[in-house]
Chains A and B, each alone.
Chain A
């Protein structure tokens, strides 16, 4: 039986993309898989009794070494902010290519804590900073120093000791350009070095609390239990900065979604499912309930989604237990069809993610297809004709063409770059100033403009000729030719309408990172948790691949 890939006009809607969950394809899981054989080491741990100072952690294999250089700083409570306007953080990090020399550490000590206003070099690969979750951090230090393990109920409310507020890579602030390192096999997957940084930061947070607790009371202090460490992740506060990324990298977006769609298609095409595979799938769904019930958020929007998800996952388990037999042919296809008919988008995508769990043979080759050589698709095929471009738009953007951008509500917002922090922002074009400096992120509106121009242009004109008098549409001409080849490269929705939920765009990207427990703090930013339940570095050589569904707090 041949199953078709899902229709991009359905999957690439923001409400669906905003319902995506982590899976085996997620970057933090593929990072662990890639680096599990590497030698992990804590090379330097030079903190004072209050936990301030430098530390270096590394992964090494043969002659290749990646080193996380950490700087823990003393800041006042009033200086601590997760917002991008902050200028000081509890800790700052960079991933250095190789073993940092003393003079590298001196140089980095000057630059890394400054973050966006510091300068890095081609020897650094990623840059980040993090703030303590003060109430958790203090509680853990206090408990350990008294010889007790911390209160798990309190830990479960947050899930981490530190949260990062930005992770930068690919040439930002002088960091190495991607092209310098792209041929390294171990990083043939998106954001792999960013994942490494976050993973090693997590270990630093455990080492730091142990160190501070010990110095607080050397006689009674105990170390944070490994099982508790494992069940803590790293938090992350993410704002709109992440949203334009998925618009600005269409071929990369396509490769992420296409890999997921290919995996689903192949799983639905499995005629006979082995009992060990169906057992693993059901086990993961059951165990994952804990992830839903321990998912804390004050956001009404997210609470509603979590309630429907929980209700639908329970309904699904009921269906599997009572009405379903895995011995039928193409059982996962039947399951998928049942999900589409009976559950919400959040639940469909949740179960789709879990369907991948038994199938390393399907998923692992797809992980290698998730990067993109974007330069290859940048040039516009200007020898092609207006008629061809019009046909592409009619075929690839049917719903976009139905939107009336003359209506105020469909043209309400504009994306801009803030002067203060050079970060993307969203504003109401009818209430705020600056819409004349709008970023080219209103793709749906501009595609419609292009289409209207094409309708009154000669079919036989070449694109080169068309562009001589329509330069303002060049950016969307390029995109239309990209979507022709890459069906999942475009969000099939209006990114400037009044109903836009920008966190859907963040959620999509974060799900591919492997984030859990999306906690929207408004419609424009959210907190998440990464690596919660993940093996510790010294456990990497042999770990339970389904760790993500087995967190205990």
Chain B
């Protein structure tokens, strides 16, 4: 088994050899390492992408907006990913961002996952009909983990989620009530000796 350190170093060097700058190659190394840590096919898709890159053209999107579409060639997932990562503080103000025609979307996903940690918000991603929930770069949930990841995504929809509970008030209150059963009723004499008791707050 390859260690994550070997994966990161080799991806960094391979990305440089594929034509990216050292700085972008470092980012790619980190991102693919993350995918492999989460048991997602980072190496496999990067390998296929670099093979394709020699034969086909891919578009570089440097400035991301609400709707991004490449009508001719698919977007390069690395340039797109680095742009997303760099611009996340601005993109955070948008609720939904859409990308049309993205090559090897799983590579792009790794950069979005890292962005989720930077802004401290969960991110929902829909790749055509497939869904992923990126949880602050701690894990990635998906409804198609056992299926082959697409090589081209027609549409990627990115939703930045507000920090909200994913349970109801009722569910919380029920649980809280149960937790109260570990508390002990205080006697009057104990209350008199508690912090702040017996003093005036105007002293």
Contacts and interface: CB of A to CB of B under 8 A. Distances in A.
Contacts of B63: 468
Interface in A159-199: 170-179
Contact of A122 (B1, B24, B26, B30): B1
B23 A121 contact: no
Interface string A369-406: 00000010011101100000000000000000000000
Interface stretch (B2-10, B122-130, B183-191): B2-10
Interface string B21-41: 111101100100000000000
A207 to B, nearest CB: 31
Given A379-B114, A474-B23, A475-B23, A174 B89 contact: no
Instruction: Determine the interface band of chain A, counting residues with CB < 8 A from chain B.
Output: 20 to 34
A471 B88 CA distance: 17
A425 interface: no
Contacts of B114: 379
B3 A464 contact: no
A467 interface: yes
Report whether over half of chain A's contact residues are helix, strand or loop; otherwise say mixed. helix
A478 interface: yes
Given A174-B1, A471-B21, A464 B6 contact: no
B48 interface: no
Nearest to B7: A171
A477 interface: yes
B192 to A, nearest CB: 42
A223 B23 CA distance: 57
A193 to B, nearest CB: 14
Contacts of A467: 86
A479 B26 CA distance: 12
Contacts of A172: 3, 5-6
A464 B22 contact: no
B83 interface: yes
B118 interface: yes
B87 A177 contact: no
B3 A176 contact: yes
A385 to B, nearest CB: 12
B62 interface: yes
Given A464-B86, A464-B90, A174 B3 contact: yes
A471 B89 contact: no
A170 B22 contact: no
Interface in B81-109: 82-83, 85-90
Nearest to B17: A437
23 contacts: A121-B1, A122-B3, A171-B5, A172-B6, A178-B5, A378-B30, A382-B86, A382-B87, A382-B88, A464-B90, A468-B86, A469-B62, A471-B24, A471-B82, A472-B21, A473-B21, A474-B21, A474-B23, A474-B24, A474-B26, A474-B27, A475-B21, A475-B22
Interface of B: 1-6, 13, 20-24, 26-27, 30, 62-63, 82-83, 85-90, 114, 118
Interface of A: 121-122, 170-179, 375, 378-380, 382-383, 417, 440, 463-464, 467-469, 471-478
